[in-house]
Chains A and B, each alone.
Chain A
Amino acid sequence: MRPALGLALVLAASHASAVSAQSVRARLEDRVPAAALPAIDSLVTQAGSEGLPTEPLLQKALEGGVKGIAADRLVNGVRRGLTQLRDARAILVRAAPARAVTPGDVAAVSAALARGLSPALVERLLGAAPPPPPEPAGPVLHAAADLVARGFPPDSAADLLLTAQREGLRGVRLLDVAAAASHELQRGCAPGEALVRVREMLPNVPEVPPPRPRAVTRRPGPRS
């Protein structure tokens, strides 16, 4: 590489980093306590330099700001978020080394951990991914978290979802599997019986109907 070209790339990268830092500060100023701003800025920059998604950390900071969380607790919350993102990426890499790690998958794994799924269960679900093209990690993890939250044994829930994937169900249809199991519970079935019933339905679990409200507005306050 010619020295001039290398210098140009370094300057471009530093310029992009500076612009990114400015946009982070612009989004956070007046929204979080001034005392917390430098530390949060540093954590977000650190996440970006590690190739982790920064949006979840910004959202956590904005959330803490609007909820009136004190500066030190707010910084701790963002720091905890950074740790969760690191853990999530490590799980993704262990579960499927050949799979490209996307920011969306990292955020989904982080959310699944926050919802109470164990790292081992997340790793199992991601390691048994269906054949390419790779599916986003979010739906299967949320479906598992839904089932666990409703009292189904984690391993049995994972078995059901992996069976559903083998039967060809993908994406949000896996959420329908969890919804069908919850429906069986509401009808009075024991958890084990509910899982058996849903397994017998596969792949034809009923689809959760979309909401049909009378009036719908556009997304308020687009992200700047």
Chain B
Amino acid sequence: MTSIDRRLQEALDGERDPATLPAELREAYARLVGAAQLLSHTPPASVAERVMAEVRRLPAPASAALAFEDGVARRVARWFAQPRAVTLRLRPAWTLAIAAALAAVVFLPLAESVAPGAEEGVAQFVGHFPGARSVEVVGSFNDWRRGALPLSDEHHDGIWHGAVVLPAGQHEYMFVVDGERWVADPLAGRYVDDGFGRENALLIVRPAVGP
């Protein structure tokens, strides 16, 4: 064991003024005093204790602090607003039944309202009219009445489309663009002289039920 210098020991014990120590002993004195100060702040023994100590030093959470002040409505609202883990236990048979019921609710009314009959079929209209504000289909199937069958451009890409159930057979029609421009469907493939100097597109609707 290394013996400590007597003068240094006296300074550490407070029996001597550290300023009277030689320079090398003053440096050793300073290191020893610093070490002693570090040891006086011993951390908690474990990580868990240190974390808990930090937690205890934090201010109490608002919800806990105000628990007694909050009204019932506020607490209920907070209960609904906070995310919670939910465990749902379903039997596969019930799951399939619920899915089928949801599908029926979503799709059946649509199917019932648009299903073509034996002498009907589905006609689909598509036109490319970039920049158009409106496009509608007017034809023999709606007594050439305006405003009965507007097309839509859902993606705002100039592709206008719509579909309708019509009686099987032949129908003449035209597109009306922006309410004033009459255009024979460029994609129709069949055209017939309209008797007034232009051509109508000709549509042949097939019955949905095969011949």
Contact = CB atoms under 8 A, between A and B. Distances in A.
Interface of A: 27, 59-60, 62-67, 69, 73-74, 77, 80-81, 104, 107-108, 111, 114-115, 138-139, 142, 145-146, 149, 170-173, 175, 208, 210-221, 223-224
9 contacts: A59-B144, A65-B144, A67-B196, A74-B196, A138-B170, A173-B211, A218-B164, A219-B167, A224-B143
Contact of B164 (A111, A208, A220, A223): A220
Contacts of A213: 122, 124, 161-163
A115 B190 contact: yes
Contacts of B182: 67
Contact of B202 (A63, A67, A115, A211): A115
B145 A211 contact: no
A20 B169 CA distance: 24
B196 A219 contact: no
Contacts of A175: 204, 206
Nearest to B124: A211
Interface string B162-199: 11111101101000000000100000011111111010
Given A77-B195, A115-B202, A219 B190 contact: no
Contacts of A170: 211
A172 B207 contact: yes
A215 B161 CA distance: 10
Nearest to A136: B169
A60 B162 CA distance: 24
A16 B121 CA distance: 33
Interface of B: 110, 113-114, 121-124, 138, 140-146, 148-149, 161-167, 169-170, 172, 182, 189-196, 198, 200, 202, 204, 206-208, 211
A218 B165 contact: yes
Contacts of A66: 138, 144-146
A22 B148 CA distance: 24
Contacts of B123: 211
Contacts of B190: 115, 142, 145-146, 149
A181 B163 CA distance: 27
A219 B141 contact: yes
Contacts of B198: 67
Nearest to B150: A220
A221 B138 CA distance: 10
A59 B123 CA distance: 19
Contact of B193 (A114, A139, A172, A212): A114
B143 A215 contact: no
A224 B145 CA distance: 12
Nearest to B182: A67
A221 B169 contact: no
Q: Which 4 A-B pairs have the closest CB atoms?
A: A213-B163, A220-B148, A221-B142, A211-B124
B140 A217 contact: no
B170 A108 contact: yes
A205 B141 CA distance: 30
Contact of B114 (A107, A138, A172, A217): A217
A107 B141 CA distance: 15
A62 B207 contact: no
Given A142-B204, A145-B190, A220 B169 contact: no
B201 to A, nearest CB: 12
B144 A223 contact: no
Given A149-B190, A172-B211, 8 more contacts: A139-B204, A142-B204, A172-B207, A210-B121, A215-B114, A216-B163, A217-B165, A221-B145
